[in-house]
Amino acid sequence: MAYRPVVLYLVALAIVTSIVALASPAAAADPVELRIEVYGFAGFHVLTNRTRVSASGDQYSIATDLDTRGLASVFVDLTSHSEVRGRLAQDAVHPDAYHGEVRRNGNDSRYRIDYRADGTVASDQMPPSPALHSAAAADQMHGTVDQLTAFFIIERQLAQRGSCGMVVPVFDGLSRYNLRFTDAQPEMLSPEGRQRFAGRTLVWLARIRWCRCGWSSTPNTARCQAISPSCATAASISALRIDFSGL
């Protein structure tokens, strides 16, 4: 299982849950703060995800922190902070600025992205990456959004239309990829293990296709299942289940 796709889908889990709370008009101006604890094989604690989502008027901001825990930190000692702020315009979401800081196994990385009105993207990395400042890279980054905004866009669409069908071009400060979301057939869920819900659920697939100067790798796919008794809008979603078996 690749750690970067897993991190992306954990961010999705946090943001979709936040959208449920923000879908209520009374709470629209109130930030939502979440903490997600991830446990692996035999109940070992492997990761903590803290996310804060705020949407008020025509502005939004998202911040997320990831920290590996326990035995997982022996293999991948990861601490990450990412934050974006941007604007909301009718059905559109426009990031203004994104920055990220990552420490992985003692190595520090920093990323900054500025988004301009014409769709161009200006970025800085530390350590520097000359390849990302080439003309070819600039063309691929045009019209992209950061990974936090990408999931925010898809979850807003889910809340408004009940559908996840969309492709979002993403540049996260280091990598360029497409997030493709497709709707699948709703399913009836039965209680299993610690999951006690029984009822109809929304199902969709999220696929990552990594891009390198025109070259696309084999995509990673995860299966997402939203527990929604009415299946009408994300406002009725009470939980989200993600299957990482395709990663």
pLDDT band at 140 (very low <50, low <70, confident <90, very high): confident
Give pLDDT, residue 100.
92
Q: Read off the pTM.
A: 0.76
By CB neighbour count within 10 A (0-12 exposed, 13-18 middle, 19+ buried), where does 230 fall? exposed
Q: What is the pLDDT of residues 164-215, one digit of tens each?
A: 788 899 998 888 888 888 887 877 878 777 667 777 777 777 777 776 544 3
Whole-angstrom distance, CA of residue 139 vs CA of residue 105: 32
pLDDT at 1 over 60: no
pLDDT at 155 over 70: yes
Omega cis (within 30) before 127: yes
pLDDT at 26 over 50: no
Give pLDDT, residue 10.
55
